[in-house]
Chain A
Amino acid sequence: MKRMYIQLLSFACLCFGFAANSYAVPAIQTAQLDNGLKILLIEAHNVPMVSMQLTMPAGSRFDKLGKAGTASMLAAVLSDHTAKHDDKAWAEWLDSEALRLGASASRDSLSLSLTVVKDSLTVGLDAFSEALLQPGWRNKRFLSLREDDIAAAIKSQETPGSQAAQATAKLLYGTHAYGHTTNGTAKSLTHIKLSDLKELYLKQLRPVGSVLAVSGDVSMQEILALITPRLKNWQGKPEIAALDIQQPSIITGKSSHVSLPTSQTLVQFSRLGVARSSTDFFPLFVMNHLLGGGGFGSKLMEEVREKRGLVYGVYSYFIPLAAPGPFVITLQTRAEQAEKATQVVRDVMQSMADGKIDKKQLNASKSNLIGSFAQRMDSNRERVGLLSMIGFYQMPLDYLQHWTAHVQSVTLAEVKHMSKVYLQNNDWNITEVGPAKEKKQ
């Protein structure tokens, strides 16, 4: 957007980009309500719509032991009905105004989101604040939703991906708060009661430390005028702050096999990555792009797919969280050749750990990341995601302005160092999902 922004409470954007990238990053405007809620906004007036997301420290890391899926069910219940509207009346109201209201949980946070056409912003915020502040807690409806979630959890066990996600979480984190998937399992869901949801709601859904990220055809003045009266009775701080979390123990060299009657075996390598606050983030980000985060240009794709035709896809990613999140490499291949593919991945890791990376490869990754930066924020949906991350994990508000400079400044020595630290074969754990091993021989 090449327009001037109202300097409300906004941080002036003093830098106009770097040599490598002349893209004028849209300014982030910020405000804080009296109750402590942070609001982050990027204006975009090209489509008559507004998207927003309220992110609160109430993710699946707060699920009690044996009750995996609690945060996720709380999200489902909050967006399903309220004290004023049962689920049927609620659905009719939202649909009759075309309000896209949803809620979901991730490891660290629970989010309530709203997408509306501009004309429906006021009524949209009525619904949004009602969902947040007037939960319905209808037990009969909760039991129905839980029963459907249990059936879905059983169904999901047909697919190697969800089996692997569960097995890897357990393998890598054990009893740590990240040691289960957000959706939970058929067994853990049966142990959840409505009172568990209420408890999480009362303890963690508080304005202090929460972030409302907004992008679209709206100004900060308009948003404040609509939000302030609606959320003024929402008060307090969460029992546990967003970034207050125990460090996970380091697990290395473990393996896990899940038996599934499939033709392929899914192989998932895992180890701990970094926390969002880590100074390793940018060097690791660039290193991962080279390894398997950069699609067809990446080393894993080159070696496992392009040169050997062993897989359709192989990729790596790390998830920076409040504590170090997982660093994962995943592939699926015909069961008979799983060992061969696994060895190729190990060889790629070893060669990178040994420093076999050249400047040309590094520059290719950096130019892709820097050149595609504008694409990371060319829609309201993406901008809301970025703003939520920046606010929730307390990143500096000029994060986007400096992003390309950070990528540009990563040196070959740093990437080699990251590879040496993070790509030692013995440090990685392995999850396999597929036919029982004896069948393969």
Chain B
Amino acid sequence: MRILFLLLLFTMPLHAAELQQTTFKNGVKLIVEEDHSAPVAMVQVWLKVGGRDEVPGKTGLAHVFEHMMFKGSKALKPGEYSKRISAMGGNDNAFTSHDFTAYFETVPANQVDTVLKMEAERFSHLDLNAEEFGREIKVIMEERRMRTEDDPNSHMFEELSAAALRLHPYRNPVIGWMQDLQRLDIHDVRAFYKQHYVARNATVVIVGDVDFKHVKSIVAKTFARMKNVDVPPRFNPTEPEPLGAKRVDVHLPAKSPVLAITLPVPVWQPGKNDTETAALAIATHILGGGRTALLQRQLVDKQRKAFSASAGYDPFGMGLDLWYAYGMLGAKQSPADFEKALWTILNHMGKQPVSEKQLQIAKKNMVASEIFAQDSLYLRAKEIGRMETVGIGAIHKDEWLNAIRAVTAKDVQEVVAKYLRPERATTGILKPEVHS
């Protein structure tokens, strides 16, 4: 799930070992970052398939499929996969976004070979059973109820994304619309497997106490033996430019209002738009990052128009990103006042350059975040897998920091003026409904 409330955080290695990678004949890719500081390894298998690859009426299918990967294969009974990982002292799980699906295991380093064999087995020989599907789809509906239906904030953001875009698949929730979930069946799941779970869509990422040459030999005997199948380019339509502002009111049994704006903005394409996207990342950090975050300082601390406010931008998407800013309001605070004050700040940023101090603070903290992210094997592997899977290429990841370092105050001003304009925005307001 794309999580909208997280602060902007970049997580790319600075001082880590170099990436070692290879691509096998059938298209499977292996990327390894050795780290021998603890006898632990993070294994992640990334698939170039996600919510964006679903056809109309079948939203949620990529995520449903993620669940089915734990429901048995030729060699393993339903649930057996996780039990074996657990017994070797490991933990496993998976996640799905619009752009990718990933499966991961944290295990003692001496178990990596076994994990790779097990992963390759379920990828090649999944047993998609109708009865298991029938139970699992109910689990997923409970997941949707918990994450979305019963959470007014995320429900509002779902509506906002759907209203903001016409073509781009980010308009649909990754978990799927409930109406679609109710109609999916096992045939949909089987067709999805056949089409997307092929060698050319897979990237194996390992970070931890392993030897590249050795794991390469294991992948050669497992994933590299999957059938060599061609895959068509991924669905990535060009979203038409907004023709004017849009608004959506969301009436739900909430306790207090939330106002959010979202605008389509570009994502990073190395060598093509480095300055623009890095400047947008810096602008977003100035607005929403750290203790000096402008939205919190101005709109919350100074003007008292909300009790919490922030902004977010994800430069590592596919096609575009839905840039956002929001305020959570107390009972006596007015959405209209907050909205006006928010646009005053954004408009000002488009007219005046930010100060050199603001710029340096943003850069320094973005670099520090990269160092702190090294503390987690999970985040390191995730950044590699993600960059590779969305088409940026893990090999380019260090170039992002260079792009950040090169941004000027003028670049920030220009990018804000170009993209963060009210006539391009969709505004969503969570309006509390009086209920019992």
Interfacial residues, chain A to chain B (CB-CB below 8 A) = 1, 23, 44, 46-49, 51, 87-88, 90-92, 94-98, 100, 115, 117, 144, 147-148, 150-152, 154-155, 157-160, 259, 261-264, 294-297, 302, 305-313, 332-334, 364, 367-375, 377-381, 436
Contact = CB atoms under 8 A, between A and B. Distances in A.
Given A297-B83, A379-B376, A117 B368 contact: yes
B151 A367 contact: no
Contact of B106 (A261, A313, A375): A375
Given A96-B364, A371-B108, 10 more contacts: A1-B38, A48-B15, A91-B291, A95-B291, A98-B365, A297-B82, A310-B138, A367-B89, A368-B86, A375-B91
Contact of A371 (B35, B90, B292, B331): B90
Interface string B288-324: 0011100001001100100110000000000000000
B88 A367 contact: yes
A278 B376 CA distance: 32
Contacts of A97: 364
Contacts, number: 194
Interface string B325-367: 0001111010000000000000000000000010011001101
B150 A160 contact: yes
A151 B330 contact: yes
B83 A154 contact: no
Contacts of A100: 368, 372
Nearest to B360: A96
Nearest to A378: B38
B139 interface: yes
12 contacts: A49-B375, A92-B361, A96-B364, A151-B329, A151-B333, A154-B255, A155-B255, A264-B145, A312-B146, A371-B90, A372-B89, A378-B40
B436 interface: yes
Contacts of A295: 82, 86, 91
Interface of B: 15, 35, 37-40, 70, 78-79, 82-83, 86-91, 106-108, 111, 134-143, 145-146, 149-153, 253-256, 290-292, 297, 300-301, 304, 307-308, 328-331, 333, 357, 360-361, 364-365, 367-368, 371-372, 374-377, 435-436
Nearest to A259: B436
Contact of A333 (B38, B142, B371): B142
Contact of A367 (B87, B135, B142): B87
Contacts of A91: 290-292, 297
A371 B86 CA distance: 8
A92 B152 CA distance: 34
In the A-B complex, list the 10 residue pairs whose CB atoms are closest, starting with the nearest. Answer: A371-B89, A151-B330, A91-B291, A309-B138, A151-B307, A309-B135, A98-B368, A312-B143, A46-B37, A296-B82
Residue from B255, B291, B300, B333 having most chain A Cβ neighbours under 10 A: B291
Contacts of A23: 39, 108
A158 B88 CA distance: 40
Nearest to B433: A261
Given A148-B308, A310-B142, A312-B139, A380 B375 contact: yes
Contact of A264 (B150, B301, B374): B150
B89 A334 contact: no
A154 B256 contact: yes
B276 to A, nearest CB: 24
Contacts of A117: 368, 371-372
Nearest to A363: B87
Given A95-B292, A155-B255, A155-B256, A364 B79 contact: no
Given A297-B83, A375-B40, A436-B436, A148 B138 contact: no
B145 A364 contact: no
Residue from A160, A312, A373 having most chain B Cβ neighbours under 10 A: A312
B322 to A, nearest CB: 23
Residue from B135, B150, B151 having most chain A Cβ neighbours under 10 A: B150
A334 B371 contact: no
B381 to A, nearest CB: 13
Contacts of A259: 436
A312 B66 CA distance: 14
Contact of B86 (A47, A49, A364): A364
A9 B300 CA distance: 48
A436 B436 CA distance: 10
Residue from B106, B140, B253, B301 having most chain A Cβ neighbours under 10 A: B301
Contacts of B301: 87-88, 144
A308 B50 CA distance: 27
Contacts of A297: 82-83, 86
A378 B254 contact: no
B27 to A, nearest CB: 31
Contacts of A51: 375
Given A100-B372, A364-B87, A371-B88, A158 B151 contact: yes
Contact of B40 (A148, A296, A311, A374): A374
Contact of B331 (A154, A159, A311, A375): A154
Nearest to A46: B37
Contact of B300 (A88, A148, A150, A313): A148
A115 B88 CA distance: 33
A152 B307 CA distance: 7
Contacts of B329: 151
Nearest to B432: A158
B101 to A, nearest CB: 18
Contacts of B138: 309-310
Contact of A158 (B90, B255, B291): B255
A334 B142 contact: yes
Contacts of A370: 89
B142 A312 contact: yes
A374 B38 contact: yes
A329 to B, nearest CB: 16
A230 to B, nearest CB: 21
B89 A96 contact: no
B354 to A, nearest CB: 14
Residue from B37, B106, B304 having most chain A Cβ neighbours under 10 A: B37
Contacts of A332: 142, 145-146, 150
A369 B108 CA distance: 12
Given A151-B256, A305-B139, A375-B91, A296 B375 contact: no
A306 B377 contact: no
Contacts of A371: 87-90, 107-108, 111
A157 B291 contact: no
Contacts of A157: 255
B86 A296 contact: yes
Given A47-B15, A375-B40, A94 B291 contact: yes
A408 to B, nearest CB: 12
Given A49-B372, A295-B86, A95 B143 contact: no
